[in-house]
Structure 1
Amino acid sequence: MGATLDFGHFSIDTDAFALRVNGAPVAVEPLVLDLIIELTRQPGTLRTRDDLIETVWKGRIVSDTTISTAIKSARKALGDTDTDKRIIRTVRGRGFQFVGDATGGQGNTETPMATNPELPILRIDVATLDDSVSPALSQALTARLRAVFNRIPFLNIVAPISNGGGSSAPASTHLIEIALSSIDEVIYADVSLSDTKSGLQKWARHFSVPSQDVIGNLLAEIGSKAEPQILMEVSAYLAARDNDEPRALILKAMQVIAGRGWNPKTITVASDLLERSIAKDNTIPIAHAILSLLNAIGYRVGMLRHDDSAVKRAIESAEIALSLESQSSAVLGLAGCALCDVGQLARGEPIINRALDLDPMNGHAHAAKGAALMMKGDFAGAVLPLRKGIEISPADSRLAVWGAVLAAAELRIGQIEDARRSAEQAMSRDDVNYLPRLAAVAVHLVADDKRAFKAALKELLRVHPDITSNEVLFFVGQDAKDAIWPIIEAKRE
């Protein structure tokens, strides 16, 4: 091998014009590799857009979008995620900076970057068990799953790389294996998640979907069930290296939210974890974005309504996140949702739409769009994005909130049975969240189902005995509040 530039697990052979990770080749466009080489040759140096146009594009006139797209492709090739810019950093309004530890030499693929822990690497292997399943389906599912799992912070995603008839991939820490077969117009998928270091299987599920829209159905099923498991593994991997590492703290906060649901205790615990992370490293956009949403949703559904500073904190955290990262669908979706939740619809809606342009599989952004339409009184328009967001999102407690909002929207447009199903499914997602129970109370009131109304009201007061009239009004509206609140007061006497 000729002259090389090494950083972390990556090596660039400038003579052969090749990028490798752990010795395995990485497919990358020539111009993107030119950009990576140019940035690595001056590590730590701020490179302006004009500077890059002169050196990489040789002075040709190119748009900001072209440069941003090339930077995004370079990050993807180097394993940077949307939420963790550990190699190429954006300095808002000024340019870009290579922050990896690049050195010249013959390669040292076992040495992680000096300032960051080694991030986990997930490999996706999709195989067909018989000729009834097209290899094209396997390839398409691999590509789409990479996009879905890429929304998990601080995780590198790889797939087998074609190499002269065989296949190779960077050494992975975790492996998702999917075996596809087909019988009588039904596609079957056996999915497992393993720790490659220990060889232990951590999770396994069997799925079956109709052959119509098989990719969409498999993505919804596998993505929603596997993502929470992968998040747990990523969190455990980082925490094992350093329990107080900023990224580990962020993932702990995400696990608290996903596992314990939206309630005052969750907001307090998760916010404390995020603030500890930010105190250690305030340059990670996703930490600020999640913190903004915690304050905004806490305020929106009444959990922090008594806290006058919640709105200010939500807005400030959202703006910090956006100043650090403007091309991440995950960050945009969270920050845009937070801004809408505190009433800044004109600011938040375009941000949510941009998040969906960048990643149509961003379930949170779909749900946030539906919630924003609800706030504008467009209940019919809110139903579709809410349903889409629920369909493609991880199957965890966040669906309790989104399902409750969906039930409220369906109720407002007269879809009583749909609203009943949505409320029941939302209640099953979280045993302590009051919103699905309140939605169920409103649904059964409108349906004039006295027995179900009584049971739902009992459940509501079980999980939230101190519910206030403002909380009821805020979620179900004046008419439902006028009917429900006197009954709640009578129950308390």
Structure 2
Amino acid sequence: MQFEFGDYILDPDRRELTRGSEVISIGPQVFDLLVHLLQNRERVVSKDDLLGAVWDGRIVSEATITSHINAARKTIGDNGQEQRLIRTVARKGYRFIGEVTEANSSDGSSLSTTDPERAELDQPSELLLTFPDKPSIAALPFHNLSGDPEQEYFTDGMVEDIIAALSHIRWLFVIARNSSFTYKGRTVDVKQVGRELGVRYVLEGSVRKAANRVRITGQLIDATTGGHLWADRFEGTIDDIFELQDQVATSVVGAIAPQLERAEIERARKKPTESLDAYDCYLRGVADVQKGTKAAIEDALPLFHKAIQLDPDFASAYGMAAWCYFWRKVNGWMTDRAQETAEGSRLARRAVELGKNDAVALTRGGHALGHLAGDLDGGIALLDRALVLNPNLAAAWFLGGFLRTWHGEPDGAIEYFERAMRLSPLDPEMYRMQAGMAISHLFARRFDTASSWAEKSFRDLPSFLMVVSVIAASHALAGRAGEAQRAMQHLRQLDPALRISNLTDWLPIHRPDDLAIFAEGLRKAGLPE
């Protein structure tokens, strides 16, 4: 159903606002606010109503609501002085007062809002669900192929755990168990499931028991095309069936989350740039961040700023923007160090303020704060909070590992890096996990292991300054002078200003012994004082 007012048409199903033939750019929360006001135009909408409808009950400031009302007015040619369309009712709330007609979005035929009998006749016989404005998935009941009805509880419990774990990912829309389990025992067409549940992705699988072993298979499917995005197999004994259930649930979620993100990035890339919304800008920026090059980060930052402009409460966009400044710092790319450090810290603080329950925002924002503001303890606490919210987020594990490395806990950090690599073995940020393993082993005085991990990371990103420094230092400390000197030549090309005396301005190394061994290795490799 479309809403027509003045020269504008707002289509909630297509999430589109047009004026004539022009598509108007509008942030997702401002769009939701307009829809709610239009749908409830016969009454005053209170601020509590808006919190529930637009912000899912999350508490936001009075200024945030006001700024979104102002943005909505500006988008539809209204303002706070005239209030021709959106009226502020003092101490009560807001009401849409413009003249509105409703039209069927499929054929464009208008119907008056004062004709309830006609409206009832024109209701579609079948509810057609549209995709949410974020990735959407349904985990269907897995098929029990064991021939043992007693295994039903194990199979169902595992899928319920997967659904619960997926629900912790705030950027993901997950169909509730009671809806997805209506397909239990049925032969289904995945495309039809996608249409009926209004989801883009479907997870399905099977469980087979033989003797004392259980084999679980899972596959992720794009319900719009029927194409397979991911498949894997898990095996274990049923000696501790509940531990196996937890292990499979964790592995499946850890494996498919990056696949979902990559699929969404590819979808965003195929959209014309003039139709980008906040989430698509964010996804394009994430794709650039994963590349890690200087040019990619220069491309990513404006995309995150655009996402923030379209949605001022997009916590993850603030976190990723802050993280771009961290990455510029750690690779020696800053042109105005003081200004960029301050701006990155500001964005990081905004990310964690807005994203108290957003694991991605806490992860990127908290890690950036640890680096840019030097608050390692605070950063670690924020990443611990992220892992409570989403224990399957690989980035939270490996970035938490880095902060623990700088804090002086290299062996504990290695466990974090290993967990991240287990959760996401094909992750586009694998080179960062390998870099973390390298610096941790260096601080633990395992120089051969450090250089081995660093070389792996270097193959993916030769411009990673920290990795090149670990290669130089670890080879020097292991007595391989030639390799150390070659790495140092590359290091000096990447950042001619790097010195022994400014190592702590570059990396927040907290423990004196770690700083000493790193400095000794770089000094032996030829880094000036």
Classify the TM-score, shorter chain: 0.5 to 0.7
Indicate conservation of the 8 Å contact 2:451/2:474, yes or no.
yes
Q: What SS does the corresponding residue of 1:304 show, helix, strand or coil? A: coil
- Which of 220, 230, 233 does residue 260 from structure 2 map onto? 230
Q: 1:86 to 1:207 in 2, by over 3 A?
A: farther
Q: 1:379 to 1:469 in 2, by over 3 A?
A: farther
- Which of 205, 210, 229 does residue 178 from structure 1 map onto? 205
One-letter amino acid of the structure 1 residue matched with residue 409 of structure 2: D
Residue 124 of structure 1 corresponds to 139
Task: Return the alpha-carbon distance in structure 2 between the equivalents of residues 194 and 238 of structure 1.
Answer: 18
Residue 219 of structure 2 corresponds to 192
Indicate conservation of the 8 Å contact 2:255/2:423, yes or no.
no
Q: 1:95 to 1:281 in 2, by over 3 A?
A: closer
- Larger CA deviation: 191-200 vs 144-153: 144-153
Aligned: 1:155 with 2:172 = yes
Indicate conservation of the 8 Å contact 1:247/1:277, yes or no.
yes
Q: How far did 1:252 drift?
A: 0.9
Task: Return the alpha-carbon distance in structure 1 between the equivalents of residues 211 and 339 of structure 2.
Answer: 59
Indicate conservation of the 8 Å contact 1:288/1:320, yes or no.
yes
- Larger CA deviation: 383-392 vs 275-284: 383-392
Task: Return the alpha-carbon distance in structure 1 between the equivalents of residues 45 and 482 of structure 2.
Answer: 64
Aligned residues: 411
Q: 1:319 to 1:334 in 2, by over 3 A?
A: same
Residue 25 of structure 1 corresponds to none
Q: How far did 1:489 drift?
A: 6.7
One-letter amino acid of the structure 1 residue matched with residue 197 of structure 2: P
Q: How far did 1:268 drift?
A: 1.2
Aligned: 1:436 with 2:467 = yes
Indicate conservation of the 8 Å contact 1:396/1:429, yes or no.
no
Task: Report which structure shows greater RCO (CA 8 Å, sep ≥6).
Answer: 1
Indicate conservation of the 8 Å contact 2:169/2:390, yes or no.
no
So what's the TM-score if we normalise by structure 1?
A: 0.67
- Which of 282, 288, 295 does residue 318 from structure 2 map onto? 288
Residue ranges of structure 2 left out of the alignment (5+ in a row): 1-10, 14-38, 70-95, 97-112, 187-192, 508-513
> Over residues 39-91 of structure 1, what are the superposed CA-to-partner deviations in whole Å (9 max), with x where a residue is unaligned?
x988953229xx99xxxxxxxxxxxxxxxxxx8xxxxxxxxxxxxx9662634
Aligned: 1:207 with 2:207 = no
One-letter amino acid of the structure 2 residue matched with residue 484 of structure 1: L
- Which of 398, 404, 420 does residue 373 from structure 1 map onto? 404
Indicate conservation of the 8 Å contact 2:129/2:198, yes or no.
no
> Over residues 327-383 of structure 1, what are the superposed CA-to-partner deviations in whole Å (9 max), with x where a residue is unaligned?
222222222111111112354333233223333333333333332333333334433
Q: 1:180 to 1:274 in 2, by over 3 A?
A: same
Aligned: 1:484 with 2:522 = yes
Task: Return the alpha-carbon distance in structure 1 between the equivalents of residues 483 and 250 of structure 2.
Answer: 32
Residue 128 of structure 2 corresponds to 110
- Larger CA deviation: 141-150 vs 357-366: 141-150
One-letter amino acid of the structure 2 residue matched with residue 127 of structure 1: H
Q: How far did 1:299 drift?
A: 1.8
Indicate conservation of the 8 Å contact 1:90/1:96, yes or no.
no
Q: What SS does the corresponding residue of 1:290 show, helix, strand or coil? A: helix
Residue 27 of structure 2 corresponds to none
Indicate conservation of the 8 Å contact 1:364/1:393, yes or no.
no
In our comparison, the structure showing a higher alpha carbon Rg is: 2
So what's the TM-score if we normalise by structure 2?
A: 0.63
Indicate conservation of the 8 Å contact 1:285/1:325, yes or no.
yes
One-letter amino acid of the structure 1 residue matched with residue 145 of structure 2: L
Indicate conservation of the 8 Å contact 2:432/2:457, yes or no.
yes
Indicate conservation of the 8 Å contact 2:168/2:389, yes or no.
no
- Which of 233, 239, 256 does residue 288 from structure 2 map onto? 256
Indicate conservation of the 8 Å contact 2:331/2:465, yes or no.
no
